Amino acid sequence: MNATPSSTPDVEACDVFVIGGGPAGSTAATLLARQGRKVVLTEKAQHPRFHIGESLLPSNVALFDQLGVRQQVEAIGMPKWGIEFVSPEHTHRSYLEFAEQWDKRQPYAWQVRRSELDELLFRNAASCGASTLEGCRVRDVAYDDDGATVTAELDDGAGGKTSRQWRARYVVDASGRDTFMANKLRCKEKNPAHNSSALFGHYTGARRLPGIKEGNISILWFEHGWFWFIPLADGQTSVGAVCWPYYLKSRDKPLKDFFDDTIALCPELADRLKDATLVGHQVHATGNYSYIASHAAGGRYVMLGDAYTFIDPMFSSGVYLAMHSAFDAVDLVATTLDRPAEAARARKVFEKRLKIGPKEFSWFIFRVTNPTIREMFMYPANPLRVKEALLSLLAGDLYGNSPIKPSLWALKGIYYMISIRNWRRSWAGWKRRHRNIEDMGPLAGENILEAR
């Protein structure tokens, strides 16, 4: 049901207050409301609202099944059966198919327009009993031993704001890159191992891969980073460049022109876009964005998804990790509210489990520009089932029953052996990466939208 904004100063009571109506917040609200708890789910904007990050993983499918929305997601999605890698140092392309992973039952996912997916999940939470509020920006959360007092501002529909307060037994922070709690607690740290920024836009008329590969995500390396190429079901294609700071710092022209010049540095991508049109002439830019909070949970709160950590989006892990963290958090919330004596142990279990996904993805992301790991992606082989394990990782199968850990260890061992054997190349790659991730201060165009 939808809560109706009130102009009265009365403090309203709820079991769980959720900040943020994206995949993590809506998933947590849905599951907690199904338990019969009084849940308030808030979103600062009005759905549908723009959000980047359109690529899903096969492991998302099981989560959509549990939420009861799989058919709805299927209806708005472009089937994604695998990944294409394009390297400027190789004349061939590498194609990895999810059907080759360890668990053959998860052969595909979807590319989705996030405005549609996020609204779908938000409405589903409402249909499951959560009270939902849009245009509601949380301004403060004051904690004590029994819960928290939440203060928020709501759009009144006439250009003004209405203040409102809740008394919540528990707060779920799913505020995304706003990182509400991490900022409040001053526990957010930039990730020193990966310092990059992104430019992105949407195009019509882009040339796609043929046949069943049409919906595949393409990863294209270039001199200053890498591009994503994500086809959407409505005919548009999301294109973005993740770049090192020194390159973004060199911008001396309008963002659109700079993005055009950047695309020209990747001949294959330039060819795919030669007959394409940039939608709305809009290019988005976001600044140094990899970060992590020192912890994810406290006595009466938990941080989920991007509110806790954000890593390079190369392997499309964001939505899956956010939703999975919400599923895990439901047990933590229930334990805290129903069996408080067990809450401290539940937090430790949750924190340990939460770190699994970012840790595994990050190992590969931090090395993906290294010549050795690039060769492994461009010439995938399967000794000791390492290719199957890698595809399981890329599919998000990190929490299931697939016994991929020994093969992932073997893959990392192979990487280290090749690196040692080619130590001069490895040393040069390490030095180049070390220079690339140097923090060069605020970047021109950071966290802005330009339409030129």
At residue 351 the predicted structure's pLDDT band, cuts being 50, 70 and 90, is very high
Mean pLDDT of 244-263: 91
The structure tokens listed for 110 are: 């979807």
Instruction: Give residue 448's pLDDT.
Output: 35
Whether the pLDDT of residue 362 is over 80: the answer is yes
Per-residue pLDDT tens for 171-206?
999 999 999 999 999 999 987 667 778 999 999 999
Is the predicted pLDDT of residue 22 greater than 90, yes or no? yes
What pLDDT is attached to residue 9?
55
Range in 103-117, 250-264, 277-291 with the lowest mean pLDDT: 277-291
| Stretch 264-271: mean pLDDT | 98
Residue 106: half-sphere exposure toward Cβ, Cα within 13 Å: 26
Kind of pairing between the strands at 217-222 and 147-155? unpaired
Kindly report the number of other CB atoms within 10 A of residue 417's CB atom.
Answer: 11
- Rounded Cα–Cα distance for residues 316 and 229 (Å): 12
pLDDT at 193: 66
- The angle that helices 423-436 and 371-378 make with each other, rounded to 10 degrees, is 100
DSSP-derived 3-state class of residue 322: helix
**Per-residue model confidence (pLDDT) at position 426:** 80
Query: How many CB atoms lie under 10 A from the CB of residue 281?
Result: 11
- CA–CA gap between residue 366 and residue 374 (Å, rounded): 12
Q: What is the mean pLDDT of the chain?
A: 91
Contact residues for 25 (Cβ-Cβ < 8 A; gap 6+): 18, 19, 41, 43, 172, 174, 175, 304, 326
List all residues 6 or more positions away from 407 whose beta carbon is below 8 Å from its beta carbon: 102, 384, 385, 386, 388, 389
Output b/e per residue, 140-161; b: 16+ Cβ within 10 A.
Answer: ebebeeebbbbebbbbeeeeee
Secondary structure of residue 28 in the 3-state scheme: helix
Structure tokens at 396: 């998000």
Closest CA relative to residue 25, chosen from 127, 166, 132: 132
For 201-240, what is each residue's pLDDT tens digit?
A: 999 999 999 999 999 999 999 999 999 999 999 999 999 9
Domains of the chain from N-terminus onward: 11-68+114-189+291-354 (3.50.50.60), 79-110+195-288+367-452 (3.30.9.100)
In this prediction, residues 129-134 reach a mean pLDDT of: 98
DSSP state of 309: E
Six token digits for residue 262: 């950047």
162 φ, ψ (degrees, to nearest 5): -120, 130
Nearest in space to 21 (alpha carbons), one of 155, 136, 182? 136
pLDDT of residue 436: 66
Residue 438 confidence (pLDDT): 65
Neighbours of 296 (CB within 10 A): 25
Q: Which residues pair with 136 in a beta bridge?
A: 154
pLDDT of residue 279: 96
Rg of the chain, C-alpha, whole Å: 22
β-pairing verdict for 277-278 and 131-134: unpaired
Q: What is the mean pLDDT of residues 313-331?
A: 96
Question: Each residue of 414-449: pLDDT tens digit?
Answer: 999 999 998 888 887 777 767 766 655 544 444 433
**Looking at residue 145, what is its pLDDT?**
87
Give 56 or 158, the one with higher predicted confidence: 56
**What's the CA gap between 67 and 20, in Å, rounded?**
18
pLDDT for the residue numbered 3: 43
The residue whose two tokens read 């299927």 is: 74
- Residues 306, 260, 207, 313: what is their CA dihedral angle, to the nearest 10 degrees? -20
